[in-house]
Structure 1
Amino acid sequence: MSDKLTLNIGGMTCNHCKMKVEKALKTLDGVQDVQINLEAGQADVSYDGSKISESDLKAVVGDAGYEVK
């Protein structure tokens, strides 16, 4: 069973941005799937909540240079 979270992300303007955020999230142990909607500025993340937390997900997006709203 996995947890799901939708992150609202500011600053994504192109496919490179989308790929950068997706790659950053997928580096975390416990992230199972990432679907990014560039137009909506959202990332839907499926993850194992016993391995990582919501704050871990937000931190890695911030470290990649984008703002989690």
Structure 2
Amino acid sequence: MNLVVEGMTCGHCVRTVTQAIQAVDPHALVDVDLSSGVVKIVGQLAVEQAVEAIQRQGYVIAAALPSEADTPAAPTASSCCGGCHR
């Protein structure tokens, strides 16, 4: 999942947000991009859990964006689209 988080400005913010997420899901991978304000999270927690964990630290969630894992892949030439009867 990708969250747009307002108010992050420094390395301390990165650590705080990362630790907040990992307190809920210790195995979550968290990547914080300060310039865009996007926090990318790969883990087992629900969007609501991530939002709540970050908000408890005083940050504002501006948006939840779809991540590549949330977007279904388009069929490729080697994969069946489901419309044939092979």
Q: What TM-score do the two structures reach when normalised by structure 1?
A: 0.81
Aligned pair partner of 2:42 in 30, 46, 50: 46
Larger relative contact order (CA 8 Å, sep ≥ 6): 1
Cα deviation for residue 14 of structure 1 reads 1.0
Structure 1 contact 7–42 (Cα < 8 Å) conserved: yes
8 Å Cα contact 1:35/1:43 also seen in 2: yes
Q: Which structure 1 segments of 5+ residues have no match?
A: none
The structure 2 residue matched to 1:35, chosen from 6, 31, 34, is: 31
For 1:29 and 1:21, the matched residues in 2 are separated by 12
Moved over 3 A (4+): none
Aligned residues: 62
Change (3 A) 1:24 1:43: same
Question: Which runs of 5 or more structure 2 residues have no equivalent in the other structure?
Answer: 63-86
TM (norm. structure 2) is 0.66
Aligned-pair CA distance for 1:53 = 1.4
| Structure with more strand by fraction | 1
Cα root mean square deviation, aligned: 1.3
Aligned residue number for residue 9 of structure 1: 5
